[in-house]
Amino acid sequence: MARRRDPTALTEAALSGDRGAMARLISMVEEGGDPAREVGGAMFPRAGKAYTIGITGAPGAGKSTLTDRLIGRIRKEGDSVGVLAVDPTSPFSGGALLGDRVRMQDHATDHDVFIRSMATRGHLGGLALATREAIRVLDACGLPWVLVETVGVGQVEIEVAGASDTTVVVLTPGTGDSVQASKAGLLEVADLFVINKADRPGTQELERDLEFMLHLSDRDDWQPPIVRTVAAAGEGTDDVWSAILEHRRYLERDGHLVERRKQRLRQEVAEIVARRLELRAADACRGEAFERLLADVTGHQLDPYAAAADIVDALAG
Amino acid sequence: MARRRDPTALTEAALSGDRGAMARLISMVEEGGDPAREVGGAMFPRAGKAYTIGITGAPGAGKSTLTDRLIGRIRKEGDSVGVLAVDPTSPFSGGALLGDRVRMQDHATDHDVFIRSMATRGHLGGLALATREAIRVLDACGLPWVLVETVGVGQVEIEVAGASDTTVVVLTPGTGDSVQASKAGLLEVADLFVINKADRPGTQELERDLEFMLHLSDRDDWQPPIVRTVAAAGEGTDDVWSAILEHRRYLERDGHLVERRKQRLRQEVAEIVARRLELRAADACRGEAFERLLADVTGHQLDPYAAAADIVDALAG
What digits encode the pLDDT tens for the residues B1-53?
445 668 889 999 999 989 999 999 999 998 888 889 999 999 999 999 999 99
Q: What is the mean pLDDT of residues B54-82?
A: 93
Residue A280 has pLDDT above 70, yes or no: yes
Let me know if residue B87 belongs to a domain. yes
Distance from chain centroid for Cα A279: 23
Whether chain B has a CB inside 8 Å of the CB on A282: the answer is: yes
CB contact under 8 A, A44 and B294: no
Which tens digit of pLDDT belongs to each residue from A226-245? 999 999 999 999 999 999 99
Let me know if residue A208 belongs to a domain. yes
Let me know if residue B16 belongs to a domain. no
Whether chain B has a CB inside 8 Å of the CB on A298: the answer is: yes
Query: Which residues of chain A make contact with B7, given a CB cutoff of 8 A?
Result: none
The domain containing residue A154 runs over which residues? 48-253
> B235 and B302: one domain?
no
| pLDDT given at position A212 | 87
Distance (Å) from the alpha carbon of A206 to chain B's nearest alpha carbon: 32
The enclosing domain of A133 has a CATH number of 3.40.50.300
> B92 and B225: one domain?
yes
Confidence of residue B128 (pLDDT cuts 50, 70, 90): confident
Rounded Cα distance between B43 and B137, Å, is 6
Q: Which residues is B121 bridged to in the sheet?
A: none
Q: Looking at chain A from residue 238 to 267, which residues have their Cβ under 8 Å from any Cβ of chain B?
A: 258, 261-262, 265-266
Rounded Cα distance between A118 and A100, Å, is 12
> A292 and A148: one domain?
no
Burial class (CB in 10 A: 0-12, 13-18, 19+), A214: middle
Let me know if residue B265 belongs to a domain. no
Let me know if residue A74 belongs to a domain. yes
> A173 and A278: one domain?
no
Residue B250 has pLDDT above 70, yes or no: yes
CB contact under 8 A, A306 and B41: yes
Whether chain B has a CB inside 8 Å of the CB on A303: the answer is: yes
**Where does chain B have alpha helices with state H?**
7-15, 19-31, 33-43, 63-76, 97-100, 126-140, 155-162, 177-184, 186-189, 203-217, 237-252, 256-284, 288-298, 304-315
Residue of B nearest to A285 (CA): B270
Give the strands of the sheet with A81-87, arranged side by side. Answer: A113-119, A81-87, A145-150, A51-56, A166-171, A192-195, A226-228
Confidence of residue B123 (pLDDT cuts 50, 70, 90): low
| pLDDT given at position A108 | 66
> B230 and B280: one domain?
no
Residue A120 has pLDDT above 90, yes or no: no
Let me know if residue A29 belongs to a domain. no
Whether chain A has a CB inside 8 Å of the CB on B292: the answer is: no
> A166 and A284: one domain?
no
Q: Which of A268, A269, A290 to mutate to test the interface with B (most CBs of B within 10 A)?
A: A269
Which tens digit of pLDDT belongs to each residue from B251-265? 999 899 999 999 999
Q: Which residue has the higher pLDDT, A45 or A161?
A: A45
Domain's final residue, options A201, A222, A253: A253
So what's the ipTM on this one? 0.85
Burial class (CB in 10 A: 0-12, 13-18, 19+), A276: buried
Residue B99 has pLDDT above 60, yes or no: no
Q: Are A301 and B48 in contact (CB under 8 A)?
A: no
| pLDDT given at position A95 | 40
| Residue A154 phi, psi dihedral angles, 5° rounding | -75, 175
Rounded Cα distance between A270 and A310, Å, is 24
Closest CA to B131 of B143, B120, B142, B141: B120
Confidence of residue A88 (pLDDT cuts 50, 70, 90): confident
> A92 and A230: one domain?
yes
> A204 and A235: one domain?
yes
Residue A33 has pLDDT above 50, yes or no: yes
| pLDDT given at position B169 | 94
Whether chain B has a CB inside 8 Å of the CB on A283: the answer is: no
Residue A204 has pLDDT above 50, yes or no: yes
| pLDDT given at position A100 | 45
| pLDDT given at position A98 | 36
Instruction: Please count the structural domains in chain B.
Output: 2
| pLDDT given at position B1 | 46
| pLDDT given at position B90 | 66
Let me know if residue B22 belongs to a domain. no
> B228 and B104: one domain?
yes
Q: Looking at the partner chain, which of A269, A307, A308 has a beta carbon nearest the beta carbon of B297?
A: A269
Domain's final residue, options B224, B253, B282: B253
> B148 and B187: one domain?
yes
Which tens digit of pLDDT belongs to each residue from A291-302? 999 999 999 999
> B70 and B214: one domain?
yes
Q: What is the mean pLDDT of residues B301-310?
A: 93
Residue of B nearest to A47 (CA): B300
Confidence of residue A79 (pLDDT cuts 50, 70, 90): very high
Let me know if residue B71 belongs to a domain. yes
Under DSSP, the state recorded for B61 is S
Residue A45 has pLDDT above 80, yes or no: yes
Q: Which residue has the higher pLDDT, B96 or A129?
A: A129
Which tens digit of pLDDT belongs to each residue from B157-211? 888 887 899 999 999 998 877 777 777 778 888 999 999 999 999 999 999 999 9
> B276 and B202: one domain?
no
Closest CA to A310 of B276, B33, B18, B222: B276
